[in-house]
Amino acid sequence: MGQKTNPIGNRLGFIKGWDSNWFGGKNYGEKIVEDDKIRRYLNARLSKAGIARIIIERTLKLVTVTIQSSRPGIIIGKGGTEVEKLKEELKKLTGKEVQINIFEIKRPELDASLVAAGIARQIEGRISFRRAIKMSVASTMRMGAEGIKVTISGRLNGAEMARTEHFKDGRIPLHTFRADIDYALAEAHTTYGRIGIKVWICKGEVYGKRDLSPLPAQKQQKSGRFGGRKKKK
């Protein structure tokens, strides 16, 4: 079962929290569509800001959008001018009052979505896919991950027939619920077609109760409360 389901969805309620936190009520469908609009807009508008996750929380009149990014300076702008512009744009898009929080990711090598996006960007820049993946795998393991797996599919290096290749280092226990596994899918748009990249990163195992709200979990990880592989001296 661990092989067939999304590793993040499989762990929801155990060690991972939700990216959208609100009560639906009668307007459940409208809120889901609105969340999708916000995420699509922000990913397109801030494509160079290294966005890893967008967390949306709602109260009766306020929508709180938390952006986790490896390059928060691009989102904030000089003196916070870009954030104010972004707030106004989201206000027009949703018709509600919007609050934006920005959270910096200190170690982008340990975030699956940033690793996948980095590989996709290199492939679009015509770098050999093997070289791009091996460099990403090495840098992730160097930062203290327990394991990483990368799967790439499509017309690799412009070959006539599409194929799939796998690269793996360390351990990825997909069946273990307490294993903190991050997963992401990215696409590289090349002249010879679209190439899909899937990345799994194991950051260690979570013991004891964990706060499922996304931001405190990130802070706890940063302070080293959850076990990961120690770096060799």
| 95 has pLDDT over 50 | yes
Give me the pLDDT at residue 171, please.
95
Give me the pLDDT at residue 219, please.
47
CATH code for residues 9-104 = 3.30.300.20
| 216 has pLDDT over 80 | no
| 14 has pLDDT over 80 | yes
Hey, is 100 helix, strand or coil?
strand
Q: What tens digit of pLDDT does each residue of 27-59 get? A: 899 999 999 999 999 999 998 889 999 999 998
CA distance 196 to 37: 23
Indicate the pTM of the whole model: 0.85
Domain boundaries, the chain: 9-104, 108-205
Give me the pLDDT at residue 228, please.
43
CA distances from 119 to 18, 106, 156, 200, 202 (A): 26, 19, 13, 13, 18
Give me the pLDDT at residue 215, please.
58
Q: Assess whether the region 9-104 and the region 108-205 belong to the same CATH fold.
A: no
CA distance 199 to 119: 10
CA distance 95 to 104: 27
Mean pLDDT of the residues in the chain: 88
b/e 66-99 (16+ beta carbons within 10 angstroms → b): bbbbbbbeebbeeeeebbeebeeebeeebeeebe
* Average pLDDT rounded to a whole number, residues 181-203: 96
pLDDT range class, residue 80, cuts 50, 70, 90 = confident
Q: Which CATH architecture has domain 108-205?
A: 2-Layer Sandwich (3.30)
